[in-house]
Structure 1
């Protein structure tokens, strides 16, 4: 048949393969991912499909549209679906929770506007912790080396008295230690140290909260030392 198989146009040129010399040139390409082979592991969501869909409907119709001041209502809805929510936790209505039965939040913590709690795996948030607006807490991903695009989950632990400033991204499997402060848009790829300050992408330690001096803030909340 005078057929040749190559892996790329570059290889075709290198071997001086020309269509007029061969009846057919077949380009063999590497398959990186075939989503038709993707399957969700048994019990991956932690609840059956009916409960999952019901939560998403409740979140869309009852959680998100609720007025900001109805923090107790949103705590109630999360607890109704298995979340462990401590006393006086403040969760803004625009925050999103994938699977509430995989979520634990300690007393007096605050979850800001647009926060994504992507709880494919367990998310544990300690007491007196602030997750500022548009942060993304990620507990899952896919294996880029596997053709079936296998999904996985890894828990994230955010300990007491942590502050994640706006738009921080926390990777699966990370533990953010007590008192850590991650500045705006930090990409947290590994465990932090207690009381440390982090910044950047990826986030690197830039200081310690114990060394900070209090800001000059007047009774009206205006800052004067900047």
Structure 2
């Protein structure tokens, strides 16, 4: 019988997490308490905690208390961006989000996977880059290595497996470009993409 994966052979590569075990565990404790239990309007407090653990967080970034960040030191968010409820920034590799961008609720930015051809089921990672003035609507999955161009919109519940060009609307599983963002005659209502955007002030 063929073997496909032997999880007893799995190993985390040295230095993979980017910080020592003590810092990783400390962040997990801080995230599940001081971050997650903070009142909704305490945006400055959550920015402070992320910066304390090495994240590059711009001015007036709004992050909801239920946001999850795996490794803050591999995370960068530009000025005035919003990150909504239950967003997962799975930053095994670097995640970069530009300025004035929105990552809506329950979206999952995933920088890591596993090598299905390797018996040891080793990690495969690649960074995710989200440009300025992008809207990633509700419940979108973004896969490792993807770049979302400036001004693009990704519709709700889409699965993004390839790069999204600038200034377009992409929707579906997998996501496909359906039109330019500002095309005349298109549905410009937010309901065409998602019922909600990001954090409520």
**What is the TM-score when the length of structure 2 is the normalising length?**
0.92
Structure with bigger gyration radius: 1
Q: Extract structure 1 runs of 4+ deviating beyond 2 A.
A: 212-217
> What runs of 5+ residues in structure 1 fail to find an aligned partner?
1-28, 218-226
Partner residue in 1 for 2:36: 64
Could you tell me which of 39, 42, 47 is aligned with 2:14?
42
Partner residue in 2 for 1:204: 176
Could you tell me which of 195, 211, 221 is aligned with 2:167?
195
Could you tell me which of 49, 62, 65 is aligned with 1:90?
62
Q: Distance in 1 between matches of 2:171 and 2:75?
A: 26
> What runs of 5+ residues in structure 2 fail to find an aligned partner?
191-201
Partner residue in 2 for 1:179: 151
Q: Distance in 1 between matches of 2:91 and 2:2?
A: 33
Taking structure 1 as reference, are residues 175 and 37 closer, same or farther at Cα in structure 2, changes over 3 Å only?
same
Higher relative contact order (CA 8 A, sep 6+): 2
Task: Give, in angstroms, the shift of residue 136 of structure 1.
Answer: 0.1
Structure 1 vs Structure 2 CA RMSD: 1.4
Could you tell me which of 156, 159, 166 is aligned with 2:138?
166
Task: Give, in angstroms, the shift of residue 165 of structure 1.
Answer: 0.4
Partner residue in 2 for 1:136: 108
* Number of residues of Structure 1 aligned to a counterpart in Structure 2: 189
